[in-house]
Amino acid sequence: MDTTPDLKLMGVTEVNGQPLACGGCGNTFSLEVHRHLVLETAPAWISCLSCGRGEDSPTVTNGLVDAALAARTGRARAEDRDLFTAQWRGIVMTGELVPELVMDDMVTLAELLKRETTKTAKAWGRAQKREAKALVKVRTDALSGAVRDRARSAVGGAKAAALGAAWQLQTGGAGPAKSVRPKQRRCRVKGCKRGMLTIKTRVHSTTGKTQTVKVPCAVCGRTGGGK
Ligand SMILES: [Zn+2]
Ligand SMILES: [Zn+2]
């Protein structure tokens, strides 16, 4: 018997609506079908890749295998599936064959590899960049922190120096500055402003009408202690 299977089945193959299964372990996946003997009506050989058992199929004949091979869609493009629906002497078999490598698979695979490689390279690049950035940031932070501290102390120093100079200037270096302005003394005489009283009188009036006359205040004098 030829060791190369005629049908490498993929997934569940159905024969007359029933899943094709291994007679030994009941496995419905990973089955291979071999043409066996010569007659079309002779049962095909089903080998199970799961348990390793091989047996004459009670349903699949050589004729059905030939029909399936004739009916298979084959594949041209990477996204294609190799499907078949075969009918031979009243028995219908539907299923899918393990995809055989086609040129488009190679192209797709190459593209995929390239994409993955690029992606990986980019991801690596990104990681590197991120790492570098983080490192720079750490260094920058440390640096700016130091600069900031230095600037802060410089400002503090300048401020202190300026204040000191002003202090010297204002006080001559003596004691804290106080307001030297004396408190205003107000004259208690009603109507006295800056030592002058404004009097309304008709006495000195030449017109006979009421006039205002300013006279020195007798209490505070002309010195006018008040405002
Ligand atoms: Zn089996
Ligand atoms: Zn007065």
- Residues lying with their CB under 5 A of ligand 1, a single-atom ion: 22, 24-25, 27, 48, 50-51, 53
For residues 144-168, give the mean pLDDT: 64
- pLDDT for 226 equals 42
The token pair at 192 is: 């006295």
Better-predicted residue by pLDDT, 186 or 223: 186
DSSP-based helix, strand, coil % in the chain, nearest 5:
35, 25, 40
* Number of neighbours of residue 220 by Cβ within 10 angstroms: 20
Whether the complex's predicted ipTM surpasses the cut of 0.85: no
Q: Tell me the ligand closest to 47's alpha carbon.
A: 1
Helix, strand, or coil (residue 39): coil
Lowest mean pLDDT among 66-75, 102-111, 201-210: 201-210
- Predicted confidence (pLDDT) at residue 27 exceeds the cutoff of 70: yes
